[in-house]
Amino acid sequence: MKGKLGQDPLWVLGAMSGTSLDGVDAAMLRTDGARIFEFGASEYRAYTPEERAILHGVLGRWQEDDLGDAPEVSLRAHAEILSTFEDAALVGFHGQTLAHDPKGRGTHQMGDGAALAQRIGLPVVWDFRSADVALGGEGAPLAPFFHFACAKWIGATSPLAFLNLGGVGNITWIDPRKDAPEAPGALLAFDTGPANAPLNDLMQERRGLPFDRDGALARQGQVEEGALELFLQESYFRRMPPKSLDRDDFSLMLDLVRELSDADAAATMTGMAAAAVMQGMEHCPTPPDRVLVCGGGRKNPVLMQMLAVGLDCPVLPVEKVGLDGDMLEAQAFAYLAARVARGLPTSAPGTTGVAACVGGGQISQP
């Protein structure tokens, strides 16, 4: 074991399975919960089509619902990939988000950290969101504190934004001149709207494919402006941040493109994801000098081109500043696990709307 659960930097292993349901990302990070000292190894474990179907089948369900084989599918996939790493002192386990209704029933991340700790023989930090929601926060997004550390790591000196285009899109506006992520004015974060999830669902429904690789189908189509205008009338876009979404909050998107050709539907849904980000940018305290994009959406050149045209600053994949856009969320939960172990806050009023800075998470020993 490297390091100890104190002030010294330690190697922490983070895992993330997002709402796009493609697989599990795992990544090592050397951190003291405040600074990034080193990025370590990373791996990806794809879900099989059968596993993806089982997980997709329980989306929207809550803790008291029958989840069938899904908990074991998720736990096995995480244990398989996490067991391939060495030298981790601690594991950050996000679990699989199935339902998110912070102002109603709460939030549900399927996954038993205690069971995972037993399987892999390491202490596991998990249940990151419940404390935030219990104190009136949105419980999401949680990566912003890590984005702040990344901004420091790349040497940023003026406001910038991280844009994560996963199943749902979320943005973190950062003032790197502040000393800590919980400092007033350091961060503003919120979900912009749907990103890859509805488009992936469309591709599965229409073409039997998990996603629109390289935006190939969208490139062949035209954006239906009427559908886009109806989409932007959704009241969510007028709400002030912080704010967050469930994966399926915009299920109306599929209805809006129901009569369109496959290509036009894909182009329109891609345009919706971009337009949601453009609307979100209007909430930033000051215009960012650049937008750094992570998540699967950065690999869609059609989506990236739409953002480049629609935003008033450079839009770059995070690889341009030496970060790994595939692993940033897994690294984020490694970072947050270290913060939990040290008793540091993991969310703040500017990131989730919580009443005061709060540290989430619980630690299960093997």
Q: What is the pLDDT of residue 175?
A: 98
Q: What is the pLDDT of residue 244?
A: 86
Q: What is the pLDDT of residue 363?
A: 97
Q: Residue 365 is encoded by which pair of tokens?
A: 């020993």
Q: What is the pLDDT of residue 5?
A: 58
Q: What is the pLDDT of residue 252?
A: 78
Give the integer Cα–Cα distance in Å for 75 and 89.
Answer: 20
Contacts of 64 (CB under 8 A, 6+ apart): none
Quick: pLDDT tens for 319-337: 999 999 999 999 999 999 9
Quick: pLDDT tens for 43-52: 999 999 999 9
Give the integer Cα–Cα distance in Å for 363 and 109.
Answer: 16
Quick: pLDDT tens for 48-96: 999 999 999 999 999 999 999 999 999 999 999 999 999 999 999 999 9
Q: If you average pLDDT over residues 158-183, what whole number do you get?
A: 96
Q: Which residue has the higher pLDDT, 85 or 255?
A: 85
Share of the chain above pLDDT 70, in %: 98
Q: If you average pLDDT over residues 196-215, what whole number do you get?
A: 92
Q: What is the pLDDT of residue 152?
A: 98
Q: Is the dihedral of CA 13, 17, 22, 23 positive or negative?
A: positive
Q: What is the mean pLDDT of the chain?
A: 94
Cis peptide leading into residue 242 (ω within 30°)? yes
pLDDT band at 30 (very low <50, low <70, confident <90, very high): very high
Q: If you average pLDDT over residues 293-310, what whole number do you get?
A: 96
Nearest C-alpha neighbor of 195 from the set 249, 158, 152: 249
Domains in the chain with CATH codes: 10-141+326-364 (3.30.420.40), 155-321 (3.30.420.40)
Torsion of CA 250, 95, 181, 1, to 10 degrees: -160
Q: What is the pLDDT of residue 49?
A: 93
pLDDT band at 104 (very low <50, low <70, confident <90, very high): confident
Give the integer Cα–Cα distance in Å for 65 and 68.
Answer: 9
Report the amino acid identity of residue 153: W
Would strands 90-101 and 362-364 be described as parallel, antiparallel, or unpaired?
Answer: unpaired
